[in-house]
Amino acid sequence: DVDKARYVIDQREMDYFTEAKTYHKDIKKYKLWLEQGGQCIYTGRTINLSNLFDPNSFDVEHTIPESISFDSSDLTLCDAHYNRFIKKNNIPADLPNYDKSVVIDGKEYSPIKPRLQRWADRVERLNRNVEYWRGQARRAQNKDRKDQCMREMHLWGMEQEYWKKKLERFTV
């Protein structure tokens, strides 16, 4: 029966789409987990790989709420309870534990700001790499070497820009 076949195909496409969407979300979570060194930037809580994909443990959240920035690319991996009940629709610099430890509902939250130092160090290191390759390009003796140095400079520059923007979102 043709109608039955169409129904089965439609169901499969929907299942495939749902699975692909879930798979993409899990990949994003894993990448953020790696970026953050297995730690929630807001709470300092260690994010174990075993509960990373539990939707009730950790959220992928917008650093600057989407309603404020309209940017869907500023994502951070966050402790679900903290995201849902403390951060809500706030920017990081307005959070109670941004620059000092606080106790909320009997639980202590360490300051966010010291955890950003690792990202600031990374931005500085990437900046040095960009400058290094810029200097190499200026001193290049032939076109091929200059092109290679320019590619390296631009690749390091893109990485540096990514981390610089990520850090800025936490210091706005």
Contact residues for 65 (Cβ-Cβ < 8 A; gap 6+): 89, 90, 91
Tokens at 112, concatenated: 């966010």
Q: Which residues of 104-116 are buried (b: 16+ CB within 10 A; e: fewer)?
A: eeeeebebbeebb
Q: Rounded to two decimals, what is the model's pTM?
A: 0.82
How do residues 16-74 score in pLDDT, each as one tens digit?
455 566 678 889 999 999 999 999 999 999 999 888 999 899 999 999 998 888 777 78
How confident is the model over 85-109, as pLDDT tens digits?
A: 999 999 999 999 999 999 999 999 9
β-pairing, 75-79 vs 58-62, is: antiparallel
88 dihedral zone (left: phi>0; alpha: psi -120 to 50; beta): left
